[in-house]
Structure 1
Amino acid sequence: MVNSLPHPTTSAGRDGLAAILARPQETVVALDFDGTLAGIVPDPESARAHPGAVAALAALAPRVASVAVVTGRPAGVAVRHGGFAGVPGLESLVVLGHYGAERWDAATGTVRAAPVPPGVAAVRAELPGFLDRAGAWQGVWIEEKGRAVAVHTRRAADPEGAFEALKGPLADLATGHGLVLEPGRMVLELRPPGVDKGVALASYVRETGAGSVLYAGDDLGDLPAFAAVEKLRADGTPGLLVCSDSGEVPELSDRADLSVPGPAGVVDFLTALAEAVEEVRGD
């Protein structure tokens, strides 16, 4: 119901929510995966969408212009871990993986992908020796992401200490191979420049011709998407920024129009939004 929806704390957010409710058929709903639709876990391979996430998305998707998952993961991995394939109601779902370098469309069940930049392969080969020389192997591990490589410190004896100690050297390594370093929640990702969630989101909104946009995220990698929505708002397209709040990333929660408690809060919000849209349409 409309009254069960949480209220944005900003005037821009209230305008964005009002536009979504008034014209849901013109709205793109875009969401990060890890930390937003799925909980953060020590091993990303064990991450799965929140038990209520697929049902919430399936209830909302037929009522809006489009639902897109925007993630740094490979698109196919996000589809598998999310359980998005073959779900009634999600026939038009789009997953923009690797920050938009890959795209999975539920309508076809296929992934389209750009070539892997050569710098990623070079860093992938060099990283094991690099971390060994840095004495950083204890609890630190490498995640292969196809078009990016990530170094996780969450399992280290001192996760924050390892994160801070590696940030500078890994930034230099990335620069030396024409890549950039993207810090996250106890993870440091090396990936190609000019590719981020903001670029992916802005491009998708232009493609759809959306009249309003909602974006939900949880980490530093979502800041470019927040900036893209802010730019769209400045250009006249209403938008709502939602933070899946862990308490770990104030840089994001401070810029959000609305904060909810983690993936469970995101699922509750999406469910309430689907009900509110249906109620408004019924009127």
Structure 2
Amino acid sequence: MSLEEALAGLTGTLLVALDFDGALAPIVPVPSDARPLPEAAAAVRALASAPGTTVVLVSGRGLADLAEVSGFAEPVRMVGSHGGEYGPGLASGAADLLDDEQQALKEKLTLALVDLVEGEPGVALEHKPAGVAVHVRNAAPEVGARVLDAVRAGPATWEGVDPTEGKAVIDLAVLQVSKGIAVDALRERLGADAVFFAGDDVTDESVFTRLREGDVGVKVGDGPTAAAFHVADPAALARVLASLAAARIGPGRPGS
């Protein structure tokens, strides 16, 4: 089956879940500079207005950061921190409910990571409600490898810490989160008949491996994947999303 045929089969109520960095927006050296491609932004907004269609960004970014760099607002919805934060209109995220023990562990984790990355050029920490991410994208390869190895051997092994590795980043949370768990929860909460998901990172594989018959998964960029379909880059994904939006808005679709 081709991707076009798979898209045509997405009838009924649809959850469109999308990674942001590397999917809607090209990867950039400074994460705060990331913006969705104009074509991708237009397609996302068209999909969000289509009958029977809910669009949710599902990102490793913190929720506030995701809202700022994406530029989207309702009816586009958002899940941040790999499923640790849920935006308006969605179920409350567990990260909003850290207990005293988890909060204390997060503080201990933060202090340890600050010490670990001190003096390491190009390494940055991203502080999130449920933990901390260690970014090495802008570090020299030997620096990045040294820091990530230290994180893996140290804080990532602590009881109560859930590590999630991505491209040049390790996200450490004090509760169990994953994009796959988040998309499963969204499917049930929204009563979706099918899911379309697109992403580029290894963290997106937790969604691809959970997709069911009738769903469509699209890997953006190179690399091994459990997704059934593949596109080269965010520009190619933007075209796919535009085609999906046109099909959902056209005659014979839910609510039309």
Length-normalised TM-score, structure 1: 0.78
Q: Assess, with a 3 A threshold, how the Cα gap between structure 1 residues 154 and 71 changes in structure 2: closer, same or farther.
A: same
The answer for the alignment partner of 1:145 in structure 2 is 128
1:188 aligns with 2:170: yes
1:280, distance to aligned residue in structure 2 (A):
5.4
Of 96, 115, 119, the residue aligned with 1:129 is: 115
1:279, distance to aligned residue in structure 2 (A):
4.0
Q: Distance in 2 between matches of 1:162 and 1:275?
A: 46
The answer for the alignment partner of 1:50 in structure 2 is 37
The answer for the alignment partner of 2:151 in structure 1 is 170
Q: Distance in 2 between matches of 1:279 and 1:187?
A: 41
Partner deviation per Cα, 1:203-235 (whole Å, 9 max, x = no partner): 000111111110001101111111221xx33xx
Instruction: Kindly report which structure 2 residues correspond to 1:243-282, keeping only aligned pairs within 5 A, or say none.
Output: 243-245=219-221, 247=222, 250-252=223-225, 255-279=226-250, 281=252
1:193, distance to aligned residue in structure 2 (A):
4.3
The answer for the alignment partner of 2:70 in structure 1 is 82
Quick one: which amino acid aligns to residue 196 of structure 1? S
Residue identity over aligned pairs, in percent, reads 31
Q: Assess, with a 3 A threshold, how the Cα gap between structure 1 residues 166 and 157 changes in structure 2: closer, same or farther.
A: closer
Of 218, 221, 224, the residue aligned with 1:242 is: 218
Aligned length: 246
Quick one: which amino acid aligns to residue 167 of structure 1? L
Length-normalised TM-score, structure 2: 0.85
Q: Distance in 2 between matches of 1:280 and 1:192?
A: 47
Partner deviation per Cα, 1:36-66 (whole Å, 9 max, x = no partner): 1112111211112222222111111222431
Q: Assess, with a 3 A threshold, how the Cα gap between structure 1 residues 99 and 183 changes in structure 2: closer, same or farther.
A: closer
Q: Distance in 2 between matches of 1:43 and 1:120?
A: 25
Q: Distance in 1 between matches of 2:80 and 2:238?
A: 21
User: After alignment, is 263-272 or 45-54 more displaced?
Assistant: 45-54
1:184, distance to aligned residue in structure 2 (A):
1.2
Q: Distance in 2 between matches of 1:192 and 1:95?
A: 21
Unpaired runs of 5+ residues, structure 2, are none
Determine helix, strand or coil for the equivalent of 2:78.
strand
The answer for the alignment partner of 1:88 in structure 2 is none
Determine helix, strand or coil for the equivalent of 2:75.
coil
The answer for the alignment partner of 1:17 in structure 2 is 7
Quick one: which amino acid aligns to residue 28 of structure 1? L
Determine helix, strand or coil for the equivalent of 2:140.
coil
Unpaired runs of 5+ residues, structure 1, are 1-5, 86-90
Determine helix, strand or coil for the equivalent of 1:151.
strand
Between structures 1 and 2, the one with greater helix share? 1
Q: Distance in 1 between matches of 2:55 and 2:138?
A: 33
1:177, distance to aligned residue in structure 2 (A):
5.2
1:93 aligns with 2:76: yes
The answer for the alignment partner of 2:58 in structure 1 is 70
